[in-house]
Amino acid sequence: MKLLTRTSLSYILISVVVFIISGLVFFNLLHTIFKRQLDATLTEEKMLVEQTINYSDSVPDFRLVFGHMIDVTILNAPQQKKSYIKDTLMYDSDLGSFASFRHLFTENTSIKQKGYTINIYKPLRDSENLIADIVISLALVFISLLLLLVIVNYFITRRIWIPFYRILHNLSIYEINQAKPLELAGSEIYEFKLLMTALEKMSKKIQFDYMNLKEFNENAAHELQTPLAIIKSKLELLIQKENLDENQLQLISGIFEATTRMSKLNQGLLLISKIENNQFNQTENINLAQILDKTIEHFEEMIDHRGITVSKVYQNHVTLMMNPILAEIFITNLVSNAIRHNILNGRIDLIVKHDSLTITNTGQLLKTDPGELFQRFRKSESSNDSVGLGLSIVQKIAGLYQMKVVYQHHEGLHTLIISFG
Amino acid sequence: MKILLIEDEKELSISISEYLQKENHLCEAVFNFEHAIEKINLYQYDCIIVDINLPDGSGLNLIRALKENKSETGIIIISARNSLDDKISGLEIGADDYLTKPFHLPELNARIKSIIRRRNFGGVNEIIFNDLRILPEQMEVTINGQVIILTKKEYDLLVFFLSNRDRILSREAIAEHLWGDEMDTADSFDFIYTHIKNLRKKIMEKGGEDYIKTVYGMGYKFTDQ
């Protein structure tokens, strides 16, 4: 839910509740006031009637005087003093139906020792109509006020939150490995200023750390090259010594193999950090089918050795804008991965479409979590010779050129789909 | 042969010199740009091996200086930087070859020999070992005058052996020479074995001697001793 919708909704909800409560209170208040008014009028009329009875000793037709229902009865016996006012339902001849009336009843004994009763009825209709009119007009005023408030609030809030959405947008397009720091446009609002300063400070710190780490990685990998080269060269000189026995040669061979592995690992790490540092920025058009054919040819011996059948389906002619070295590494890693994790007499299917490259290979069931496949140093047990950087490099290169790599697995068939951006 | 080695890493320089001296090359080593410039202005070399990243200058400028003097010296770049730019610019300004550290010494040796052979305009460009004769330009191999047909890999393997005769070649060095560094090591050792088996067979079929000795656990050695 958007912030704006949320505030508008709360606004409306609270206003409606307040309106209903205050409306009820107001309605009751009006009712009481009008009743009191009516009762006052009834009492006044009653007094007028009593005075008239006292003076004239007869009962005139009060209906002519007051214009509404009034009934005065003279009784011969003296009466107890009794008086009340209440609501009642009566047949209203004007309306032709029953309606609410205010009814005053008095029973008393006049000066001439004769009793009388007075019944005065006043219709509540008029005051009820009045109340209804007042309530309706008030409601109209309230609703238009509420609408106005909501609209004004909507626009004000939208204006106020503009810097916030700009900050969000800038944050979402910000990439840590880009050269320029996070820059957020200014706002006059104090809280936003605080937010921007905090974010800028944080991103600067993160970027600084990230750059440091990246630089360290690259330097470390780079600096390792020389000692590795020295070890390799010394070992090569060592094996030329005349008087080495088989045992010693075996030991040296072990060192040799480990050094080669380390050297490969180091080269892989160096490559990753170079890709991260965007050091392969020259691109050219790469013919995908051509580079695939070349790579398959390169691995021909290995493919024959394992009895793997390779089928190639090039549905479209695809050229990719890539750095030629990275393109070669990319395809080589994909193909060698499909060969390395294959089974004896297995198969590899390559399908090139206008928007994707699909590589399917037969293979053992995956023991690791497919999600971890692209992480560095993840490797299956069956191929201990690999250093476990192949797919990680593939993904790094794919990321560089906005390609997506998806892994699928179905009954011993492993599929990597690379969709071009 | 006179070789100038320009490499600032002393230990690596010592290893290279030692390996090359066994091939009866005269190998002079300098460790920085300044001394290298002095040397190339004073003497004539058959081949120079130059590191791109020198403490006091770029190896690329040394190559430029050599080329300005219209020198016929063969040039091999060795660089830790596995970068396309260095490789392209190095080869563009006239270097003959490019090797990335860490490399195998037999590989460097084979590359030097190949360059020297190619530059040896006066003499006959051929490799002779007892009854074996290779004409690299035609990629032709004869044994006692009889031509033997080799596959590309077998041929590469044979030339590599002959460039490093009487040396133990590790399986890693052979694998990297034949397939580059993307090859799965375990598999490539099997392939090397197969190729060597075939090569031996082809040479012996034509009455040649078995020069390839297996060094257990380590590699192979091409020798007539």
Please determine, for residue B50, whether its predicted confidence score (pLDDT) is greater than 90. Answer: yes
Please determine, for residue B125, whether its predicted confidence score (pLDDT) is greater than 60. Answer: yes
CB contact under 8 A, A233 and B22: no
Residue the block writes with tokens 């050269």 = A179
Does one domain contain both B89 and B18? yes
Strand pairing report for A309-314 and A347-352: parallel
Determine the Cα–Cα distance for residues A394 and A413; give it in Å rounded to an integer.
19
Using a CB-CB cut-off of 8 Å, the residues of chain B touching A340 are 184
Does one domain contain both B12 and B115? yes
Q: Show which of B72, B94, B119 is a domain's final residue.
A: B119
Does one domain contain both B99 and B135? no
Q: Does A54 touch chain B (CB under 8 A)?
A: no
Please determine, for residue B192, whether its predicted confidence score (pLDDT) is greater than 60. Answer: yes
What per-residue confidence (pLDDT) applies to A34?
87
Q: Show which of B119, B153, B188 is a domain's final residue.
A: B119
Determine the Cα–Cα distance for residues A416 and A317; give it in Å rounded to an integer.
20
Interface confidence, given as ipTM, is 0.84
Q: Domain of A226: which CATH number?
A: 1.10.287
In chain B, which residue's Cα lies nearest the Cα of A234?
A: B15
Q: Give residue A240's domain range.
A: 191-276
Q: Give residue B92's domain range.
A: 2-119
Does one domain contain both B59 and B135? no
Neighbours of B28 (CB within 10 A): 17
With vertex at residue B169, the alpha carbon angle to CA B168 and CA B172, rounded to the nearest 5 degrees, is 145
Determine the Cα–Cα distance for residues A360 and A268; give it in Å rounded to an integer.
24
Q: Show which of A276, A293, A327 is a domain's final residue.
A: A276
Tokens representing A282 are 């020259």
Does one domain contain both A314 and A293? yes
Instruction: Note which residues in 375-414 of chain A have CB less than 8 A from chain B.
Output: 383, 385-386
Pair B49, B73: CB distance under 8 Å: no
Does one domain contain both B114 and B131? no
In chain B, which residue's Cα lies nearest the Cα of A330?
A: B182
Using a CB-CB cut-off of 8 Å, the residues of chain B touching A237 are 15, 18-19, 105
Query: Domains in chain A: how many in total?
Result: 3
Cut 0.90: pTM above it: no
Does one domain contain both B91 and B190? no
Strand pairing report for A70-75 and A115-123: antiparallel
What per-residue confidence (pLDDT) applies to B23?
83
What is the separation, in whole angstroms, between the first and last Cα of chain B?
24
Least Cα separation, residue A225 to chain B (angstroms) = 6
CB-CB: which of B11, B172, B185 is closest to A230? B11
Neighbours of A140 (CB within 10 A): 10
Does one domain contain both A290 and A351? yes
What per-residue confidence (pLDDT) applies to A53?
77
Strand, helix or coil at B200?
helix
Q: Domain of B75: which CATH number?
A: 3.40.50.2300
Does one domain contain both A122 and A200? no
CB contact under 8 A, A233 and B19: yes
Does one domain contain both A228 and A328? no
Neighbours of B130 (CB within 10 A): 11
Q: Average pLDDT of B192-216?
A: 88
Helix (H), strand (E), coil (C) string for B20-57:
HHCCCCEEEEECCHHHHHHHHHHCCCCEEEEECEECCE
Determine the Cα–Cα distance for residues B98 and A199; give it in Å rounded to an integer.
47
The whole-angstrom distance between residue A343's C-alpha and the CA centroid of its chain comes to: 46
Determine the Cα–Cα distance for residues A209 and A64; give it in Å rounded to an integer.
101
Using a CB-CB cut-off of 8 Å, the residues of chain A touching B215 are 239, 249
**Crossing angle (nearest 10°) for helices B171-179 and B105-119:** 50
Using a CB-CB cut-off of 8 Å, the residues of chain B touching A249 are 215-218
Q: Does A242 touch chain B (CB under 8 A)?
A: no
Determine the Cα–Cα distance for residues A226 and B155; give it in Å rounded to an integer.
32
Does one domain contain both B55 and B139? no
Q: Which value, in Å, is the radius of gyration of the alpha carbons in chain B?
A: 18
What per-residue confidence (pLDDT) applies to A31?
86
Per-residue confidence at B16, pLDDT binned at 50, 70, 90? very high
Using a CB-CB cut-off of 8 Å, the residues of chain A touching B156 are none
CB-CB: which of B80, B104, B216 is closest to A232? B104
Determine the Cα–Cα distance for residues B161 and B168; give it in Å rounded to an integer.
9
The whole-angstrom distance between residue A391's C-alpha and the CA centroid of its chain comes to: 32
Does one domain contain both B209 and B142? yes
Query: Domains in chain B: how many in total?
Result: 2
Determine the Cα–Cα distance for residues A81 and B99; give it in Å rounded to an integer.
129
Does one domain contain both B104 and B134? no
Q: Average pLDDT of B192-204?
A: 90
Does one domain contain both B81 and B45? yes
- Integer angstrom CA distances of residue A395 from A111, A288, A290, A326, A406: 114, 17, 21, 11, 10
Tokens representing B55 are 């403490």
Q: Is residue A165 part of a domain?
A: no
Using a CB-CB cut-off of 8 Å, the residues of chain A touching B152 are none
Using a CB-CB cut-off of 8 Å, the residues of chain A touching B20 are none
In chain A, which residue's Cα lies nearest the Cα of B218?
A: A253
Does one domain contain both A262 and A319? no
- Integer angstrom CA distances of residue B39 from A408, B100, B217: 61, 24, 42
Using a CB-CB cut-off of 8 Å, the residues of chain A touching B153 are 301
CB contact under 8 A, A240 and B181: no
Q: Domain of A355: which CATH number?
A: 3.30.565.10
Using a CB-CB cut-off of 8 Å, the residues of chain A touching B217 are 246, 249-250, 253
Neighbours of B179 (CB within 10 A): 20
Q: Is residue A152 part of a domain?
A: no
Q: Does A340 touch chain B (CB under 8 A)?
A: yes
Disruptive mutation site among A219, A223, A226, A233 for chain B (greatest number of B CBs within 10 Å): A233
Does one domain contain both B7 and B113? yes
Query: Which among A374, A406, A410 has a CA at the least distance from the CA of A393?
Result: A374
Q: Is residue A398 part of a domain?
A: yes
Q: Is residue A126 part of a domain?
A: yes
Using a CB-CB cut-off of 8 Å, the residues of chain B touching A271 are 82
DSSP notation for A303-360: HHHTT-EEEEEE-S--EEEE-HHHHHHHHHHHHHHHHHT--TT-EEEEEE-SSEEEEE
Q: Is residue A232 part of a domain?
A: yes
Determine the Cα–Cα distance for residues A63 and B207; give it in Å rounded to an integer.
153
Does one domain contain both A196 and A307? no
Does one domain contain both A291 and A211? no
What per-residue confidence (pLDDT) applies to A111?
60
Residue the block writes with tokens 């590790």 = B170
Residue the block writes with tokens 């009340």 = A84
Does one domain contain both B104 and B204? no
What per-residue confidence (pLDDT) applies to B10?
92
Does one domain contain both A117 and A220? no
Q: Is residue A169 part of a domain?
A: no
Least Cα separation, residue A371 to chain B (angstroms) = 24
Does one domain contain both A9 and A103? yes
Q: Domain of A65: which CATH number?
A: 3.30.450
Paired strand residues for A120 = A70, A104
Q: Show which of B119, B148, B178 is a domain's final residue.
A: B119
Pair A184, A199: CB distance under 8 Å: yes
Q: Domain of B143: which CATH number?
A: 1.10.10.10
Q: Does A263 touch chain B (CB under 8 A)?
A: yes
Tokens representing A197 are 């300063």
Does one domain contain both A408 and A310? yes
Least Cα separation, residue B201 to chain A (angstroms) = 19
Q: Does A332 touch chain B (CB under 8 A)?
A: yes
- Tell me the H-state helices in A174-283: 190-238, 246-276
Paired strand residues for A152 = none
Determine the Cα–Cα distance for residues A283 and A323; give it in Å rounded to an integer.
4
What per-residue confidence (pLDDT) applies to B123?
61
Low-confidence ranges of chain A (pLDDT < 70): 57-60, 62-68, 110-113, 177, 179, 367-369, 371-373, 375-387
- Tell me the H-state helices in chain B: 10-21, 33-42, 59-68, 84-92, 105-119, 152-163, 171-179, 185-205
Q: Does A324 touch chain B (CB under 8 A)?
A: yes
Does one domain contain both A13 and A91? yes
% of residues, chain A, pLDDT over 70: 90
Each residue of B61-93: b (16+ CB within 10 Å) or e? ebbeebeeeebebbbbbbbbbbbeebbebbeee
In chain B, which residue's Cα lies nearest the Cα of A298?
A: B179
Disruptive mutation site among A241, A291, A301 for chain B (greatest number of B CBs within 10 Å): A301
Does one domain contain both A22 and A138? yes
